[in-house]
Amino acid sequence: MLEVQSSLKRDFDRDGYIMCRSLFDTEEMKALLAFARGDRQLASEAYVRRDATGGESRLAVRNDLADDSPYTAIVRSHRVAGTMSILLGDEIYHYHHKMMLKEPRVGGAWEWHQDYGYWYSNGCLYPDMASCLIAVDRATKENGCLQVLRGSHRMGRIDHATTGDQKGADPTRVAEAMKRHELVYCEMQPGDALFFHGNLLHCSSRNDSENPRWSLICCYNTRHNDPYIANGRHPNYSPLELWSDQHVRQSILHHA
């Protein structure tokens, strides 16, 4: 077990991400998708972000874990949060989570950016933060899967500016990074999970296919990186209760 953990952290530190196939099984993802598609609160909370060409993507962001919903269960799961603690080398806490709703034909692109490019302004002094993207639908090049530049997290934080409704990383820096870092298309099956560093450059293309691409992204901060801005856009540190795999599975299937 220690060797596996050491290997995961080594790969994460080198590449800025790791892919964990089938972290959640088919039954769990079918149940999560059914719940999300029928979630009226999610639909009402979702807002649009336009890319540079006017393409639209919807997302719903939540800062709290006040219920036992499938979203909360996955955020609290040992599979996700326990792995994240190993990768970041510290106790972690829930920073926020979001459902990304990229619909067929109309789902817009997400510009090249770093998550820490946003979170820096929230009072987080260090880039010791990361996200876990869980594919709820199948993610392919055709429906706009995530793209990453392997190892680009080692460049440090890049300045971001507004592009459309989004903030994107300095395009000159991105162009130079693309000359030096491998571009990886993160094609995923439902239940696959991508853990990626807060400074990893990533983007996604428009969804020009007939298939939706929904995903759940769980974002975490480290305890030692508690923001110096109290009551900022996302929460300050509070201990995160982790749930067993059995508890998580029961919660997901119960709500289907």
pTM (predicted TM-score) = 0.95
**Tens-digit pLDDT profile for the chain (256 aa)?**
667 688 999 999 999 999 999 999 999 999 999 999 999 999 899 888 777 777 778 889 999 997 889 999 999 999 999 999 999 999 999 999 999 998 887 767 888 999 999 999 999 999 999 999 999 999 999 999 999 999 999 999 999 987 766 788 999 999 999 999 999 999 999 999 999 999 999 999 989 899 999 999 999 999 999 999 886 789 999 999 999 999 999 999 998 7
Q: Comparing C-alpha atoms, which of 95, 99, 104 is closest to residue 36?
A: 99
Beta-carbon count within 10 A of 150 CB = 15
CA distances from 16 to 22, 35, 64 (A): 20, 31, 27
Instruction: Give kind and range of the element (H or E) at residue 111.
Output: strand 110-113
Q: Which domains does the chain have, with CATH numbers?
A: 2-254 (2.60.120.620)
